[in-house]
C-alpha cells in the first residue's frame, strides 16, 4: 500500500532534457514524463488507451505525444486529439494525467487526485538551487521495499558498521544517543558524535590527525523525504554548544520514491558550501556518498531477500528503533486515513 | 486456452535436417520432432514415460528414439520397444504421438485427436515451394500471447508507425480504409494505399522518386495463419483498377504458433517473383522483413508487459479494430465448440 | 518436506578456512557457519534478530559474530552480548543455533532439535581421512529436488547412457541385474558388470585393451548419504568370486543435502588406494568424476524442468526402479514419523 495524496520525486529535472519521453513507474503506476516547449513538465499514464502500448515508446510532436503503435495522438491534458484514418474521436479516448511541478531541479508528482495537489506542500530543498551550495544530482535504484530504506535513514547507528570505510570510521556514531521528536508528517532527529576519529570520506578536507565533532540533524517526512543539516568540525571548537567554527557543512537530501512493492527510486544530493569554486571537491564528495549508498543498497537488498526467504521471523525491537517505530506509526495512520476516505467515496 | 483440433506450423522442414531431435513446445505441450529414414516426419511427447526425461536429449537410432537417461527405446508410433536389463515391456510404456505432415517446406502438426487430423485442411502456402517464387525461411520467438501478434497482423495501420523506417514510410497506410470480410475460419482484408512515397524496404527495387500505389490483400485464419498477396506499383499505372503493371509482387506468409501462454513461434516468409535469379535480392528482402518483425517484437512484447503490469486497464475500441474484433469472435466461438465437445465426451 | 532430525553435510571443512563466515541454506533454512578459535565449528541462523540482516555479511570478532548493519554482537551460543549505544540487552535478543560436528574433513549439521543430535549417528566416511586413500573434495549445486538426485544414484543403469563417455562406456551396466536390499535407514545395492569394455574414465589406469569386470556395491541412507565400494579388474581374475586381484579400487561418497525445494548441495569424493603418491592420478580421477556429475546435473535439471512444466504426467514404474521405490517408502515413513511427533508436541 502506498500513499497517493502526497508529493513524490519523479525525476531530476536534467533527466527530462536527456530523454524526451521518460518512462518511470511510481508507486506501481507506469508514468511517462516530458517537458512542454515552454518548460512545463507533463506526466501521464504510460499506456495508450487503445491497445495499452507504452506512450514512452512514442514520439513527442510539439507538446503532444503520438503512440507509435497505431498513431493515436495525445495532448498534454491526456485527451486523444487524432486517430489516423478516422474523424470521430470517442470521448473515452484519453489517458490519465498527474499533477507535476518543477522545483529546485527536481520534478515532483502527485499520484492522487490532481485537484487536491497543493503545490505549497512540496517539501523544501532550497540548497539544490542556491548560489552558496554545490552538489551533483545522484540516483540509485534499490531492489527493496521503500520502508526498509526509510528504516535505514532513521537509524544512523548503521554509519558505524555499513559505512565503516566511508561515512562512518568509528563506532562512536552508534554509541551516540539520538534525540527523536515526532511531528505530524514525520520525525526530527538530532545526533551529536563528539571527539571521534575523522570519517574516511571527509579526510581530504580536514587538517591531519585532529579528532572531530559531528552533527547529523535531520527530518524525514512521509512519504520518504529526508533533509539534513550535517557537519564536521575540530573537537573543542564549539559543536556541543552549537557554534560553527571552520566547519565542513552539508545539506543532504535523500528522497525515496517507491517504484513497486519491492523496488524503489532513491534520489540523493550531498550539497556543500565550502570550496564551491572547486568542482573537484563536488566530484569527490559525490563519489564518496555514491559509494556509501552502494553499501546501503547491498545491505538493504540482502535484508529484503532475507525477509522474503524467511517471512515468519519476528524482529526484536531495541531502543535504537525509536525513530523508525514512530515513522511507521505516522505512515500507517496516513494510509488508514486515505483508505477510509476512499471507502467513504 | 488454445485450439487443439487444427493444423499448427511446428517447424521449417530444414530444421529437422539440422537437428536430429528437435525439441519444440506447442500450445504448452513439449514435443520432439524428427524425420524417419524415408523422410516422414514424426512427432511425440518430449517425455520418456519412465522418469519424464526429455526424449529430445536422447539418441536417434534408425527410426527409433532412445532416452539417454536409462535407455528406453521408442518406435515412431510411441511404443516402448526396449527396456535395458528386462524382457517384459509393460503395455503402458509408451508416449503420446501427434499427427504431422510435411507440406511446402513446412512441418505441420495437429495437437488434438490424431484420428480427426484431416490433411486436406492444411492451409495453402504454395509460393513456398514453387518455381516462380523465391524467399528465405524466417523465424522469431515472441515473448507474448499469440493473440496480440494476430491483433498486430489484423490492423496494418501500424505499418505507418511501428515500421516507419522499413515497411511503412508514410502515414498514408494508416489513413487508408481497409475492407474487412469475415468468413467461417477467419477474416479477409483488402487495403489500397494510393500515391504514397516509396516504402524504405522497397526503394532499392523501384525507379527513383516516383510515388507508388500499394495493395495488401490477405486473409488470416485460425489459429494464426496469414497469407497475403501484396505489391507496389508506380502510381497511375493501374492498381486501383486491379491492373498489375511492372509491379513488385509478393506472397507473404506469417504463421503464428502459440508456444506457451506468454510466448509464441512466428514463422515467416516474404516470397517475391521478380529478380528470381538474383539471390542477393532474396537476401535483401529477407533482411528488411526480419528488421520489421524485430520492430513488431519490441512493440508487442512492450504491450504484453504493459498489460501484465496493469491488468485492470480497459482497451478503448476504435473503428480500426473491426478485423481484430471479428477474429477474436471467431476464435472464441471455435474454442467454445471444442470445450463443449470435450465436456460432452 | 524435509527430514529435520538427521545429520546433513553442511560443508567441506576446508570451506570454513577459506570463508570466515560461510552462508549456506540447508533444508530451506539460512545458516551461517564458522570455526571458533579452538577449531570447533559453530552454526547459527543467518539472521540478526534485530532487523534480520544476514550475519554472514557480518564480522568475526574472536569467537563472536558482529552484525554489520547496526552492530549487534552474538556469542557462539546465539546470545546477543552487545548492542551498541545501550546497556540492557533483552533476553529475546538471540539467534537459533544448530548442533554441528567436524568429522573426516566434513562439517555435519543437525537441523532438528539440538538435544536429540546424537554424534554417534554421523555416517561413516572413513576413507576421507585415512592414510591409504587419496581424493579431491568435490561440490556441485543442482537445480533440482534432492529426491531426483537420489533416484539417479539408486539406479546405476544410467551409467550406460548419461555417462557413456565417462563412467560407463557400454550398455552392459544397464543390462546387469542389481541386488537390492532395504534396511531401516536406506537401501543396499550390489551390481556386478562382467566382461565389459573399459570405461573411458579408467582407461589411463588399465592395461591396453583387456576387458574388465566391475563392481558397484553401495548403500544410500536417508537423508541422502551414499557410500560405495567400487572397482575394476581384468576379466577372469576373480571379481565374481569376490577376489580382488590387481584391481583399481575406489571408495566413493556422494552426499546430498537439500538446499531448497528445487535446489540441492552435492558433496562428492572418489577416493582411490592406488598410485597414492602420484597427485596427478588424484587430479585426473577428480576431473573425470566432476565431468560425470556435470552430465548428471544436465540430465536431472532437464528432468526437473520437464516435471515442473508438465506436472500431471504419471511415471511408469519398471523393475529397475526397485531401489528407488524402496528408498522413497523409507523416506516417507520417516517424514510421517517426524510429522506425527511434531503434531503430538
Q: With CA atoms as reference, report the closest residue to A316 among C47, C149, C40, C145.
A: C47
pTM for this prediction: 0.94
B146 grid coordinates:
499469440
Percent of chain C with pLDDT over 70: 100
Range from A206-210, B93-97, C96-100 carrying the lowest mean pLDDT: A206-210
- What mean pLDDT do residues C257-269 have? 98
What number of CA atoms fall less than 13 Å from residue A265's CA on the CB side? Answer: 19
Backbone CA torsion sign across C265, C270, C276, C277: negative
Q: What is the pLDDT of residue B344?
A: 82
Cβ within 8 Å of residue C287, ≥6 positions away: none
Residues A24 and A22: their CA atoms lie apart, in Å, by 6
Residue pair A99/A118 in contact by the 8 Å Cβ criterion: no
State the residue for C-alpha cell 495524496.
Answer: A5
Of C30, C49, C51, nearest to A303 by CB-CB distance is C51
Q: What is the pLDDT of residue C341?
A: 87
State the residue for C-alpha cell 525445494.
Answer: C261
B101 grid coordinates:
505432415
Cβ within 8 Å of residue B78, ≥6 positions away: B44, B45, B94, B95, B96, B97
Return the residue in B150, B161, B166, B180 with the most chain A beta carbons within 10 A, the one to mutate for interface testing: B161
What are the respective helix, strand and coil percentages of chain C, to the nearest 5? 30, 35, 35
Q: What is the pLDDT of residue A227?
A: 98
Sheet holding C41-45, edge to edge: C22-26, C29-35, C41-45
pLDDT over threshold 90, residue A1: no
Q: What is the pLDDT of residue B208?
A: 84
In B159-188, the residues whose Cβ lies within 8 Å of chain A are 160-162, 164, 171, 174-177
Report the Cα C329 to chain-centroid distance in Å: 20
Residue pair B203/B232 in contact by the 8 Å Cβ criterion: no
Residues A343 and B13: their CA atoms lie apart, in Å, by 60
Confidence band (pLDDT; 50, 70, 90) for A341?
Answer: confident
- What mean pLDDT do residues A118-133 have? 98
Q: What is the pLDDT of residue B155?
A: 97
pLDDT in tens, C221-230: 999 999 999 9
Q: What is the pLDDT of residue B342?
A: 83
Helix (H, G, I), strand (E, B) or coil at A255: strand
Helix (H, G, I), strand (E, B) or coil at C273: coil
Report the Cα A130 to chain-centroid distance in Å: 19
Strands A186-196, C29-35: parallel, antiparallel or unpaired by DSSP? unpaired
Percent of chain A with pLDDT over 90: 96
Tell me the chain B residues in contact with residue C191 when contact means C-beta distances shorter than 8 Å. Answer: none
- What mean pLDDT do residues C246-254 have? 97
Residues C142 and C145: their CA atoms lie apart, in Å, by 8
Mean pLDDT (chain B, rounded):
96
B310 grid coordinates:
496493469
State the residue for C-alpha cell 520432439.
Answer: B32
Cβ within 8 Å of residue B265, ≥6 positions away: B9, B24, B26, B139, B141, B142, B256, B257, B258, B259
From residue B314, how far is each of A95, B324, B339, C340 by CA, in Å? 11, 16, 27, 51
Return the residue in B30, B47, B51 with the most chain C beta carbons within 10 A, the one to mutate for interface testing: B51
pLDDT in tens, C287-344: 999 999 999 999 999 999 999 999 999 999 999 999 999 999 999 999 999 999 888 8
pLDDT in tens, A156-203: 999 999 999 999 989 999 999 999 999 999 999 999 999 999 999 999
The answer to whether residue A316 neighbours chain C at the CB level (below 8 Å) is: yes
pLDDT over threshold 80, residue A278: yes
Residue pair B316/A37 in contact by the 8 Å Cβ criterion: no
| Burial zone of A101 (CB within 10 Å; 0-12 exposed, 13-18 middle, 19+ buried) | middle
Strands C138-142, C106-110: parallel, antiparallel or unpaired by DSSP? unpaired
Residues A86 and A50: their CA atoms lie apart, in Å, by 14
Number of H helices and E strands in chain C, helices first, is 5, 17
Q: What is the pLDDT of residue C343?
A: 82
Return the residue in C158, C161, C178 with the most chain B beta carbons within 10 A, the one to mutate for interface testing: C161
**A30–B155 C-beta distance less than 8 A:** no
Residues B8 and B337: their CA atoms lie apart, in Å, by 18
pLDDT over threshold 90, residue C208: no
pLDDT in tens, A54-92: 999 999 999 999 999 999 999 999 999 999 999 999 999
pLDDT in tens, C175-190: 999 999 999 999 999 9
Residues B43 and B66: their CA atoms lie apart, in Å, by 14
DSSP letters for B23-92: EEEETTEEEEEEE-TTS-EEEEESS-TTT---GGGSEEETTEEE-TTT--EE-TTSBEEEBTTBS---TT
Tell me the chain B residues in contact with residue A49 when contact means C-beta distances shorter than 8 Å. Answer: 315-316
Largest CA distance in chain A: 78
pLDDT in tens, B133-161: 999 999 999 999 999 999 999 999 999 99
Residues A139 and C7: their CA atoms lie apart, in Å, by 47
**C155–B83 C-beta distance less than 8 A:** no
Of B25, B53, B84, nearest to C303 by CB-CB distance is B53
In C224-263, the residues whose Cβ lies within 8 Å of chain A are none
Residues B61 and B82: their CA atoms lie apart, in Å, by 12
pLDDT over threshold 80, residue A224: yes
pLDDT over threshold 80, residue C204: yes
Amino acid at each position: 500500500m502506498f500513499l497517493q495524496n502526497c508529493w513524490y520525486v519523479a525525476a531530476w529535472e536534467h533527466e527530462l532534457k536527456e530523454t524526451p519521453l521518460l518512462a518511470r513507474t511510481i508507486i506501481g503506476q507506469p508514468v511517462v514524463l516530458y517537458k512542454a516547449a515552454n518548460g512545463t513538465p507533463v506526466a501521464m499514464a504510460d499506456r495508450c488507451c487503445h491497445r495499452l502500448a507504452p506512450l514512452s515508446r512514442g514520439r513527442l510532436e510539439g507538446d503532444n505525444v503520438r503512440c507509435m503503435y497505431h498513431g493515436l495522438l495525445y495532448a498534454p491534458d491526456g485527451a486523444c486529439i487524432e486517430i489516423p484514418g478516422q474523424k470521430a474521436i470517442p470521448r473515452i479516448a484519453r489517458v490519465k494525467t498527474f499533477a507535476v511541478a518543477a522545483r529546485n531541479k527536481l520534478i515532483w508528482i502527485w499520484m492522487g487526485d490532481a485537484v487536491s495537489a497543493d503545490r505549497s506542500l512540496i517539501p523544501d530543498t532550497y540548497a539544490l538551487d542556491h548560489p552558496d551550495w554545490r552538489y551533483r544530482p545522484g540516483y540509485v535504484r534499490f531492489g527493496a521495499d521503500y520502508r526498509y530504506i526509510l528504516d535505514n535513514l532513521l537509524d544512523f547507528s548503521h554509519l558505524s558498521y555499513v559505512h565503516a570505510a566511508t561515512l562512518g570510521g568509528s563506532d562512536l556514531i552508534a554509541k551516540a544517543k539520538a534525540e527523536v521528536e515526532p511531528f505530524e508528517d514525520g520525525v526530527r532527529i538530532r545526533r551529536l558524535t563528539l571527539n571521534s576519529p575523522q570519517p574516511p570520506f571527509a579526510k581530504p578536507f580536514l587538517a591531519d590527525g585532529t579528532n572531530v565533532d559531528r552533527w547529523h540533524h535531520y527530518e524525514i517526512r512521509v512519504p520518504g523525504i529526508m533533509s539534513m543539516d550535517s557537519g564536521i568540525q575540530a573537537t573543542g571548537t564549539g559543536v556541543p554548544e552549537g557554534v560553527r567554527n571552520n566547519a565542513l557543512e552539508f545539506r543532504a537530501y535523500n528522497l525515496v520514491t517507491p517504484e513497486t512493492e519491492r523496488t524503489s527510486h532513491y534520489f540523493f544530493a550531498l550539497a556543500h558550501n565550502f570550496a564551491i569554486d572547486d568542482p573537484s571537491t563536488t566530484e569527490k564528495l559525490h563519489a564518496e556518498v555514491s559509494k556509501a549508498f552502494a553499501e546501503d543498497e547491498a545491505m538493504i537488498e540482502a535484508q529484503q531477500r532475507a525477509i522474503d526467504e524467511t517471512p515468519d521471523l519476528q524482529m526484536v525491537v531495541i531502543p535504537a528503533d525509536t525513530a523508525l517505530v514512530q515513522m511507521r506509526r505516522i505512515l500507517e495512520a496516513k494510509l488508514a486515513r486515505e483508505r477510509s476516505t476512499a471507502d467513504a467515496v
